Structure formats: C-alpha cells, structure tokens
Chain A
C-alpha cells in the first residue's frame, strides 16, 4: 500500500482503539478505584476525565503505528480490523456509559 493510505489506516484504527481504551479505563476507574462522592467533592486538582482522555489518545496513538504496519503489509486485514475495532468501540462505550458512567 502507498504510504498516505497506510498513514490514514493507522489514524482510523488508532481512533477506534482510543475509544476502547477510554471505555476500559473508565471501567477500571469505577470498579477498582473508589471515587469520592461527586456531591461532597468541592474541587480536586486531579481531573479524571482529562487524564482518561489523554491516556486513551496516547494508547490510540501507539496503536496507530500498529495499524500503519498492518495496512502496509495487508490492506485487506487492516480493512477487516477497522470494521471489527469500530464495532467493539461502539459497544464498549455504550455499555460502559450505560452501566458505569
């Protein structure tokens, strides 16, 4: 595959992985680390949403390299991975949002 196509494939796959990472991070946050009650919390320096988003984008960026390599080697496999990862990302964020907001 030509380089621009592989770069775009990496970006598309990385974006889907970032959403999956975000949903998993939130699940871990809600199940493993006990959060203070939001009604009692006046202010906290640590902003969980900003950190969650930043870590998810970082992991998505890392996955983009893998997506780029996959698309360069096998565009058909990368195209299949895009559909699968996007479907998983959609289900993950909806289930996480519904059950563990």
Chain B
C-alpha cells in the first residue's frame, strides 16, 4: 500500500472503531426501548459487523505498524508503546466477546419462553455484550491516545 492509502485506511480504522463502540453501547438501550425484533437484530448484527470490519482494517495495518511505528514509539515513549500493546489485547477480546454475545443473543431468541435456562442465558449474553462494549471503549480511547503521539 502507498503511504497515502495507509493513512486513509488508518483514518477509516479509527472512524469505524468509534462507530462500532457507539453501536455496541447503544444497542442494549435500543433493545430495551421496545423496538421491533427485526430492528433489534439489525442493530446488534450491525454493531458486530462494524467491530469485525474495524478488526480487519487493524489487521491490514498491523505489518506497517510493526515496520514503521513500533520501534520509534518504544524509543520515544515506551509508556505509549505499551499502551498500544494493551489496546491490541483489548481489541482482540472485544471482537471475540462481541461475536460470542451475538451468538448467545440469537441462541436466546431460539430458546422457548418457558425454558429454565432462559434467565441464565440472558445474563450470560448481557455480560458478554457489556464486556465487549467496555473493552471496545477502552481500546478506542487507548487508540486515540496513541494516535496523538504517532500516526501512519
């Protein structure tokens, strides 16, 4: 990729990350507001699609980060370098827990209303969704802090 293309992908990655974070945080409120089932499913699936698109772009930028930024970051500001490492862990966990939460919510939809596991399943799905949203928010904030110091 040319330097201009890398910078564009990096900007898109940042925009998608915040959009995914906002969608993850907003989805439970939309679900609770009594929205139609189709809309609820769409918002949830859209949030996870944004999250996965962000992850794909992050992966596409990863080699360039390692080749051009990582060493300079650790020389000039080791704390920021380690913050970026933390951001990688949080983003990975957020994406996986988000996928798991979506699967759990679809599993819940397929569970009969009188099934004994419904309550526990709802709790597990909510926990996974909340964890994914919180980790995405932390990763987005960490990414913004790092971007102030170093960029593509």
| Most chain B beta-carbon contacts within 10 A, residue among A18, A42, A71 | A18
Assess whether A15 is in contact with B89, with CB atoms less than 8 Å apart. no
Chain B, interface residues (CB within 8 Å), range: 35 or more
Compute how far the CA of A7 lies from the CA of B23 in the bound complex, rounded to whole angstroms. 25
Question: Which residues of chain B are within 8 angstroms of A38 by Cβ–Cβ distance?
Answer: 70-71, 74, 78, 81
Known: A5-B110, A38-B70, A86-B128. A12 touches B96 (CB 8 A): no
Name B's A-contacting residues (CB within 8 A).
59, 62-63, 66-67, 70-71, 74-75, 78, 81-83, 85-86, 88-90, 92-93, 96-97, 99-101, 103-104, 106-107, 110-111, 115-117, 120-121, 123-125, 127-128, 131, 135
Give the distance in Å from the alpha carbon of A19 to the alpha carbon of B92 in the complex: 8
**Size class of the A contact interface (CB-based, 8 Å):** 35 or more
Which 8 pairs across A and B sit closest by C-beta, in order of nearness? A15-B100, A82-B124, A8-B107, A11-B103, A83-B124, A79-B117, A39-B74, A79-B120
Our count of residue pairs bridging A and B at CB distance below 8 angstroms stands at 134
Residues of A with C-beta under 8 A to B125: 12, 82
**A–B pairs, 15, beta carbons within 8 Å:** A2-B110, A5-B107, A8-B104, A16-B100, A16-B128, A38-B74, A42-B71, A79-B124, A80-B120, A82-B104, A82-B128, A86-B100, A93-B89, A93-B90, A93-B135
Question: In the complex the two chains form, is A76's CB within 8 Å of B96's CB?
Answer: no
> Shortest Cβ distance from B104 into chain A, in angstroms?
4
Whether A39 contacts B71 by the Cβ 8 Å rule is yes
User: How far, in whole Å, are A53 and B125 apart by their CA atoms in the complex?
Assistant: 23
Are B81 and A12 in contact, with the CB atoms below 8 A? no
Interface centre among A15, A23, A37, A96 (most CB of B within 10 A): A15
Q: Chain B residues with Cβ under 8 A from A79's Cβ?
A: 117, 120-121, 124
Whether a CB of chain B sits under 8 angstroms from the CB of A87 is yes
